[in-house]
């Protein structure tokens, strides 16, 4: 493509995003060029902005202003495909993109060969994310969204795929009882996924009233506050004092409170699925989980399990009628207003659930 520059929102390492001209992303021979139409602000984007400002969890180079944009919850339109591409995608197709896994995967290493492209040993160079006007990734990581889905809904595929992957990875079975710790966007995805996969009862905690309302909309049967003891009592009351079959931790943070709570609400010989991001080292007393024979299962991103992509399943869920997960996008901003979008995402008093930057 002849364009040399594009518009992008870049983190200036001062806790602020600036909308400015920057270089077009590099386009390698095996990559497609996609015009970004919608990109979601993830909790990790918020954490990274704070950490880059505070110079934590980053290398010296990483503490400098961004030269390529972030943003990994992306949908857009394919504008160009590799010359030797022979797959089923076409120029003009509307796609959701696996930015960190299949979109950069070599497709030939140990992990790629059994579907875990997130752990690819030889990934392609990161050419930038969805807070720019264009992205480049391999077509292997692009998934056509249904005609019924908007671009904003296409950008929800990635966060929903995280919960889809987690439940598949921990071998969730139809009829299980589930507790979800926290009802922000990942927790809401966990509720929606558990409902789709056939949970018999879903109990969730929510810190804010708008999150509690959304949790019910996603399919939670019981929603309680985030106050200590409320979720524990609800889980025991709804399982004849045994505990739920699986607890899904979606909060993360800087202490072990949500992990301890998760271990308290599951039955003996069960699993805690960890979807939240822990930004600090934390200590955990494993005696109680050991005596209960609890597995703590960590998952990250998504994969192809038994030949079926978590992204494709997420698209199937979002395409199944008027699915409630489509409703979690509460705020939308133009690219030039990306800083306002981040401010809204930070401020939970704004009743934001998911903030999107839409072209």
- Tell which residue, 99, 93, 130, has the closest CA to residue 7: 130
Q: Helices 157-169 and 310-318 meet at what angle, rounded to 10?
A: 120
Q: In the prediction, which pLDDT does 56 show?
A: 60
* pLDDT higher than 80, residue 60: no
* CA atoms of 278 and 282, how far apart (whole Å): 8
Q: In the prediction, which pLDDT does 63 show?
A: 65
* pLDDT higher than 90, residue 46: no
Task: Let me know: does 263 contact 272? Beta carbons within 8 Å.
Answer: yes
Q: In the prediction, which pLDDT does 14 show?
A: 84
Task: Let me know: does 179 contact 204? Beta carbons within 8 Å.
Answer: yes
The model's confidence at residue 59, banded by pLDDT at 50, 70 and 90, is low
Integer angstrom CA distances of residue 182 from 197, 301, 352: 19, 18, 15
SS3 content of the chain, % helix, strand, coil (to 5): 30, 25, 40
Which CATH number is correct for 171-298, 3.30.1300.10, 3.40.1650.10, 3.30.365.10, 3.40.50.720? 3.40.50.720
- pLDDT per residue as tens digits for the range 223-237: 999 999 999 999 999
Neighbours of 25 (CB within 10 A): 24
- pLDDT per residue as tens digits for the range 288-342: 999 999 999 999 899 999 999 999 999 999 998 778 999 999 999 999 999 999 9
Q: In the prediction, which pLDDT does 57 show?
A: 57
Strand, helix or coil at 256? coil
* pLDDT higher than 60, residue 286: yes
Question: What are the backbone angles phi and psi of residue 245, rounded to the nearest 5°?
Answer: -75, -30
Kindly state the helix (H) or strand (E) to which residue 234 belongs, with its residue range: helix 230-237
Q: In the prediction, which pLDDT does 280 show?
A: 78
* pLDDT higher than 80, residue 32: yes
Q: What is the mean pLDDT of residues 42-66?
A: 72
E strands, the chain, are: 5-11, 17-23, 32-40, 73-80, 94-98, 134-137, 142-144, 177-181, 201-206, 222-225, 244-249, 266-274, 294-298, 304-305, 308-309, 329-333, 354-358
- pLDDT per residue as tens digits for the range 10-29: 998 888 899 999 999 999 99
Tell me the percentage of the chain whose pLDDT exceeds 90: 86
Q: In the prediction, which pLDDT does 62 show?
A: 53
| Dihedral angle sign, alpha carbons of residues 5, 67, 38, 141 | positive
Q: In the prediction, which pLDDT does 329 show?
A: 97
Which CATH number is correct for 5-159+303-358, 3.30.930.10, 3.40.50.12280, 3.20.20.70, 3.90.180.10? 3.90.180.10
Q: In the prediction, which pLDDT does 50 show?
A: 74
Q: What's this model's pTM, rounded to 2 decimal places?
A: 0.94
Q: In the prediction, which pLDDT does 132 show?
A: 98
Comparing 248 with 3, which gets the higher pLDDT? 248
| Domain limits, the chain | 5-159+303-358, 171-298
Comparing 128 with 349, which gets the higher pLDDT? 128
Q: What is the mean pLDDT of residues 207-211?
A: 96
**β-pairing, 94-98 with 73-80?**
antiparallel
* pLDDT higher than 60, residue 67: yes
- pLDDT per residue as tens digits for the range 149-204: 999 999 999 999 999 999 999 999 999 999 999 999 999 999 999 999 999 999 99
Q: In the prediction, which pLDDT does 13 show?
A: 85
């Amino acid at each position: 493509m002849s364009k040399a520059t594009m518009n992008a929102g870049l983190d200036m390492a001062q806790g602020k995003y600036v909308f400015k001209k920057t270089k077009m992303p590099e386009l390698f021979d095996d990559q497609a060029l996609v015009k970004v139409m919608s990109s979601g602000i993830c909790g990790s984007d918020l954490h990274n902005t704070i950490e880059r400002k505070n110079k934590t969890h980053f290398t010296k180079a990483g503490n400098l202003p961004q030269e390529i944009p972030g943003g990994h919850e992306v949908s857009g339109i394919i504008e160009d495909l590799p010359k030797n591409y022979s797959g089923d995608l076409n120029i003009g197709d509307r796609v959701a993109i696996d930015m960190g896994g299949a979109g950069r995967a070599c497709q030939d290493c140990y992990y790629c060969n059994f579907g875990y492209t997130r752990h690819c040993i030889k990934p392609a160079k990161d050419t930038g994310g969805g807070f720019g006007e264009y992205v480049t990734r391999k077509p292997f990581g692009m998934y056509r969204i249904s005609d019924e889905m908007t671009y904003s809904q296409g950008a929800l595929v990635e966060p929903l795929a995280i919960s889809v992957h987690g439940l598949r990875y921990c071998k969730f079975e139809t009829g299980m009882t589930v507790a979800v710790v926290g009802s922000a966007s990942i927790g809401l995805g966990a509720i929606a996924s558990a409902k789709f996969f056939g949970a018999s009862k879903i109990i969730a905690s929510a810190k804010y009233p708008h999150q509690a309302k959304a949790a019910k909309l996603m399919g939670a049967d019981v929603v309680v506050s985030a106050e200590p003891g409320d979720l524990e009592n609800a889980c025991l009351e709804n399982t004849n004092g045994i505990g739920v079959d699986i607890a899904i931790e979606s909060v993360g943070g800087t202490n072990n409170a949500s992990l301890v709570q998760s271990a308290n609400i599951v039955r003996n010989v069960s699993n805690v699925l960890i979807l939240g991001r822990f930004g600090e080292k934390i200590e955990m007393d494993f005696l109680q989980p050991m005596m209960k024979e609890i597995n703590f299962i960590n998952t990250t991103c998504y994969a192809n399990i038994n030949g079926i992509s978590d992204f494709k399943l997420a698209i199937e869920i979002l395409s199944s009628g008027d699915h409630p997960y489509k409703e979690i996008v509460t705020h939308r901003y133009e690219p030039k207003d990306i800083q306002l979008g981040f401010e809204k995402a930070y401020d939970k008093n704004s009743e934001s659930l998911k903030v999107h930057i839409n072209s």
